[in-house]
Chain A
């Protein structure tokens, strides 16, 4: 497969002073979902974003995806400003969001309408294989387990060969065992494809297991509280001491009182 890594030294994603407010019905003041978020993601990096529920993680991802277009600040993907959804960015939502009237292969083909029939067939077959679902091509989403459906969603998101894959709590609805399997799977895919990944999660383990850096967000207003680099070699041992101490660092950051300034950087 061709490399998905963008050329040269530019950031894969660059967010500058991103802010987003929602009007609150019956109240004069707006809800500040995001305030002054600055982030840069390097090509091929895995950025994990953790934060309490409602802190604006999904909003941030939707802004990068181009699904939320009214916001403050600027978003650039591979140096180009984002003005709407585009095939340079793949999105995996918490729910699989497969079209129920299409089979597995049709759902993946749905993502590449611009390809000629022959390359479309090839792309679909490649991506079915990438997520290990050979033999299920003709199944409908209602016939799949939660984990399998989410794999199809990942295959669909990768089919247009995006430079960036945005994952919004993709395994939140899965049981713990399947979730760990899926994390290994994502790692395997990332190693094969070197796609830039932004992974939103509320699972600190998942963030430390997958991320090159872990962004900890604070709530109301949603801000970047701290960015913690994870400099452990992959595959990471979830039971190692280093893993545990990093998890603890994220934990502490996560549960500290709001508005506190970080005293040190790891």
Chain B
């Protein structure tokens, strides 16, 4: 909205008034365009892409036009397939994310709050972190089979570490001076946790949650590519098998949209914990 304002004003100003204005920049600098600035390049690229694809410069089986990709999504939707794929992927991400976050929160609070538990647990968890998470795949397949359990577990492992690491750091970074303020006004136990410790840790925890969610989306792709009969990753593999670049790109676009949507939800939900803090 803010981005389109200058042109409206420009168009509405009568000729006489316009010439009477002090000489100045006719256009606002790009830095003041707001979201419009970020959209400029992708829009131009999309137009160029469309033109190149339509004129046959880009081989359609290699990089189909944006409108063709949109058609692929529409076809998936109208055949009723899309909904099943979306919910399958979303359910996996959600289940894995919730599991990973739950484990990370319990272990993070324990190791953050108790120096003894930190000494006991943290080295092991840090060591496990050094295993590239994809390397778990064969083991999970062996243990849990090719069905949902191994996928959800892999996603949970992916979501676990950012949440755990940020939470522990967030707890360790709580300003003891603010805790003292809590003591001065008689806050102890649960009241201290609720009014001081929790809000003090929340920003770091939210950073961890966003990182964890990002990894959950990354790992759902890996999990679905390694074998699935439903889900956006399956659409990708299907597109590859049938040499349909439009299907691959369609699910890529859908992954991006879903990832962005869930991240925005998380940011929105966490906004009340970021109030008053310099960004």
Show the binding face of A for B, using Cβ within 8 Å: 65, 67, 84-87, 90-91, 93, 95, 97, 99-103, 110-111, 113-114, 140-142, 160
Chain B CB count within 10 A is highest, among A101, A111, A160, for A101
Cα–Cα distance between A224 and B42 once the two chains are bound (Å): 72
Q: Report the minimum CB–CB distance from B183 to chain A (whole Å).
A: 5
Q: Given that A93-B177, A95-B177 are contacting pairs, would A101 and B185 also be in contact in the complex, using a CB cutoff of 8 Å?
A: no
**In B221-279, which residues have CB < 8 Å from any A CB?**
273, 275-278
Contact A110 B276 (CB under 8 A): no
* Docked complex Cα distance between A54 and B97 (Å): 51
Chain A nearest CB from B22 CB (Å) reads 33
- CA A95 – CA B278 in complex, angstroms? 18
How close is B164's CB to chain A, nearest CB, in angstroms? 23
Nearest first, the 8 closest Cβ-Cβ pairs linking A and B are: A140-B276, A101-B199, A85-B184, A111-B185, A101-B276, A97-B181, A85-B183, A91-B184
Q: Which residues of A contact B187 (CB under 8 A)?
A: 113
Knowing A67-B180, A93-B177, A110-B195, the reply to whether A100 touches B186 (Cβ < 8 A) is no
B121 CB within 8 Å of chain A: no
Question: What B residues does A160 contact at CB under 8 A?
Answer: 185
Query: Is B273 a contact partner of A101 (Cβ separation < 8 A)?
Result: yes
Chain A residues, Cβ within 8 Å of B183: 67, 84-85
Majority SS at the chain B contact face: helix
CB–CB B276/A97 < 8 A: no
- B203 to chain A: closest residue by CB: A101
Instruction: From known contacts A95-B177, A97-B177, A97-B178, infer whether A86 and B276 are also in contact, taking CB-CB under 8 Å.
Output: no
Provide the B176-211 mask, 1 if CB < 8 A to any CB of A, else 0: 011011011111000100011001101000000000
Contact in complex: A101, B177 (CB < 8 Å): no
- Residues from chain A with Cβ under 8 Å of B200 in the complex: 101
Chain A residues whose C-beta falls within 8 Å of the C-beta of B180 in the assembled complex: 67, 97
- With most chain B CB atoms within 10 A of its CB, the pick from A86, A99, A110 is A99
Closest Cβ–Cβ distance, residue B202 to chain A (whole Å): 8
Q: How far is the CA of A197 from the CA of B246 in the complex (A)?
A: 76
How far, in angstroms, from A114 to B187 measured CA to CA in the complex? 11
Q: Which residue on A lies nearest to B177, using beta carbons?
A: A97
Could you tell me which residues of chain B, from 95 to 110, have a CB within 8 Å of some CB in chain A?
Answer: none
**Cβ of A65 and Cβ of B184 under 8 Å apart?**
yes
Besides A101-B276, A113-B187, 8 more A-B contacts (Cβ < 8 Å) are A86-B186, A99-B199, A100-B277, A101-B200, A102-B276, A110-B195, A114-B186, A142-B277
The smallest beta-carbon distance between B207 and chain A, in angstroms, is 15
Chain B residue with the shortest CB-CB distance to A139: B276
CB-CB nearest in chain B for A106: B276
Q: Does B277 lie within 8 Å of A101, measured CB to CB? A: yes
- A144 to B124 CA separation, bound complex (whole angstroms): 44
- Bound Cα distance from A160 to B184, whole angstroms: 11
Residues from chain B with a CB closer than 8 A to the CB of A91 are 184
Smallest CB separation, B143 vs chain A (Å): 43
Q: Which residues on B sit within 8 Å (CB–CB) of A141?
A: 276
Q: Which residue of A lies closest to B196 (CB)?
A: A99
Chain B neighbourhood of A97, CB < 8 A: 177-178, 180-181
Q: Report A-chain residues with C-beta under 8 Å of the C-beta of B185.
A: 85, 87, 110-111, 113, 160
B274 to chain A, nearest CB (A): 8
The complex places the Cα of A90 from the Cα of B186 at a distance, in Å, of: 11
Cβ 8 A contact of A101, one of B181, B184, B275: B275
Instruction: Select which of A87, A102, A103 is within 8 A of B186 by beta carbon.
Output: A87
B181 touches A99 (CB 8 A): yes
A259 to chain B, nearest CB (A): 34
A142–B274 alpha-carbon span in the complex (Å): 12
**Separation of A85 and B181 alpha carbons in the complex (Å):** 10
Contact of A100 with B276 at beta-carbon distance under 8 Å, contacts A95-B177, A111-B185, A113-B185 already known: yes
Residues in A with CB closer than 8 Å to B184 are 65, 67, 85, 90-91
- Nearest-Cβ distance from residue B77 to partner chain A, whole angstroms: 43
B181 to chain A: which residues have CB within 8 Å? 97, 99
The closest CB in chain B to the CB of A166 belongs to: B184
- Quick one: which of B143-185 are within 8 Å of A by CB? 177-178, 180-181, 183-185
Query: What is the CA–CA distance of A142 and B275 in the complex, to the nearest angstrom?
Result: 10
Docked Cα-Cα span, A140 to B276, in Å, equals: 5
With a CB–CB cut-off of 8 A, which chain A residues contact B178? 97, 99
CA distance A101 to B175 in the complex (A): 13
Chain B residues with CB under 8 Å of A140's CB are: 275-277
> Bound complex: CA of A87 vs CA of B187, how far in Å?
11
Report how far A160 CA is from B278 CA in the complex, Å: 29
In the complex, what residue of chain B is closest to A84 when comparing beta carbons? Answer: B183
Enumerate 20 A-B pairs (CB-CB under 8 Å) in ascending A order. Answer: A65-B184, A67-B180, A67-B183, A67-B184, A86-B186, A87-B186, A91-B184, A97-B177, A97-B180, A100-B276, A101-B200, A101-B202, A101-B276, A103-B276, A110-B185, A113-B191, A140-B275, A141-B276, A142-B276, A142-B278
